[in-house]
Structures are given as C-alpha cells and as structure tokens.
Amino acid sequence: MTIAILSALPEEQGGLVKILEQREQFQYAGRTFWRGNRHGQKIILGLSGIGKVAAATTATILLERLGAQRIVFTGVAGGMGEGVQVGDIVVAQQFLQHDLDASPIFPRWEVPGYGCTQFTCDPTLTTLLFEAANAYLAQTKTNNLDLQKHDAVLMQSARVHQGLIISGDRFINTLTESITLHSILAAAGYQALAVEMEGAAVAQVCNDFAKPFAAVRIISDRADDNAHIDFPHFIQQVVRPYADHIIADFLQRQS
C-alpha cells in the first residue's frame, strides 16, 4: 500500500527525502517526486507548487499515475481561529474552499455537483497525525536545541488543534481580510482554524477517487498585516524540523 506525502514547497517537505531507503527522484508534469521505502512501506514524496489547481493536478498524478493509495499533506498555514498562534500545529478534520462561490445558483461555498461545502479527512490517518503532532511538541518543549532562541520561546507555548482548515487561491495578508473571512464563515457556523492554498483541492480529488486523505499544517503567520514577513521567516528558519519529526513519527505509527 503506497502512501504519498505531499507539500507545496520544498521547505515544507523538510528533510523527508533523506529518510527514504532506495530512493529515486523523478519528474512528471513539471513536478518533482521521490519514490522510496520506509519501515517496509512504499512512499512517494511530491511537491505540488502553490495553489489549488497545482495541488489538484499533483494529487491526481499521485493517485492515478503513481499508484498512491493515500495522501497526507504537510505544510504551513495562516492561523485564523482565536488562540491559533504562530508555531502551533493544526491537524485538519475538514476542508472548505473559501473562494468558491457559485451563488445564487448554489449556496456559498457549496462545491457544485457534490452537494456539500466541506470534505472530511480520513479519521484513522487524522488520529495518527494528531498523535504524532502532540508527541513532537512534547519532545520539543523539553529539547528545543535546533531552533533559534526566538522560536524556541515560541515553541514553549505551541499547541495542537484539530478542526476546519480553509483553502483558496489567495495569500491572506491583511488583518481586515482575515477577520472578514473568519467572521463570515463563523456566522454560517464554520469555525476556521487556519487558511492555506491547497488542502481543499487535494481533499476533493481524494474524495473523487475514494482515497483517504489527511493533512497537518504548521502555523507560519496569523494571516494578518505581518503575514508577508512572518511566512518567509518561518518557511526558511522554522518549519523544517516539524515535517521531519511529525511525518517520520506518523509513518512509523501507521506502518
């Protein structure tokens, strides 16, 4: 049973390539992939690039061309919910496309033809990701040597959340937009914890092919006026050990 680990950017994938045995790199449709083994399990690592279409194409390649039977996404996101801070981890339970609006033909956020606004993540994979994320934070709080001082302080209060992640083809870079988006969704009963640009697309593709999907997102910024500064700092300086530890632990738990 092959599992695919997908990220948008190489930094989000961290050093996962190195944990693969008998690994080979290849390109397909302009994307970079690695194939290898870990704990006797076949693994494909993929990089989609940014945005819903790029993510959907890559997810389709993974399932239809490369034989992946499950997809797990790992990457960063902007924090939205109250108390979802930079350095926290969000394990997705559902995904919604916040920029999908075919109203008045369909209700806002409903995916035309699907009769739903959200796609639910696979509960088994999600539980394992949640356990791996908690184990990583517990470990980091006692040994944060591989982080800069500033980030080590941040890690001390980091938490793991589970819930709704929203996706759209927009980098949310103002507090006004973030608050507006969060409160419009909240008024309709959706409590968005984080925003990113790929997850809901991958969730929809996995739904189409009836394949399990799960996702973990590390909060790189608060989707506010500082997001364009916090995001690149986090991507360059902080995210790498998250992916390495959480995904390696997750793979061990589910093998």
Tell me: does residue 158 bind ligand ADE (CB under 6 A): no
- Check: CB of residue 254 under 8 Å from CB of residue 128: yes
Residue 249 within binding range of ligand ADE, rule CB under 6 A:
no
CB-nearer residue toward ligand ADE: 195 or 202: 195
Beta strands in 151-245 (DSSP E): 160-167, 192-196, 213-221
Alpha carbons 72 and 196: distance in angstroms, whole number:
15
Residues 122, 151, 198, 221: which is the catalytic one? 221
Q: Determine the 3-state secondary structure of 118 from DSSP.
A: strand
Judged by CB under 6 A, does residue 231 bind ligand ADE? yes
Q: Is position 73 an interface residue for ligand ADE (rule: CB under 6 A)? A: no
Q: Does 77 bind ligand ADE (CB under 6 A)?
A: yes
Exactly one of 12, 88, 110, 196 binds ligand ADE (CB under 6 A); that residue is 196
**Six token digits for residue 221:** 């910024």
CA distance 52 to 56: 6
- The answer to whether 76 contacts ligand ADE (rule: CB under 6 A) is yes
> What is the pairing mode between strands 70-79 and 192-196?
antiparallel
221 is catalytic: yes
CA distances from 13 to 47, 115, 202 (A): 8, 33, 16
Single out the segment in contact with ligand ADE by CB under 6 A; choices: 91-99, 133-141, 193-201, 206-214.
193-201
Which residue has the closest beta carbon to ligand ADE? 78
Is residue 110 among the annotated active site residues?
Answer: no
Which of 221/244 has CB closer to ligand ADE?
A: 221
Region binding ligand ADE by CB under 6 A among candidate stretches 82-90, 113-121, 128-136, 217-225: 217-225
Encoding tokens for residue 151? 């980030």
C-beta neighbour count of 65 within 10 angstroms: 11
* Sequence letter at residue 71: I
Catalytic residue IDs: 12, 221
Residues of this chain that bind ligand ADE (CB under 6 A): 76-78, 171-172, 195-197, 220-221, 223, 227, 231
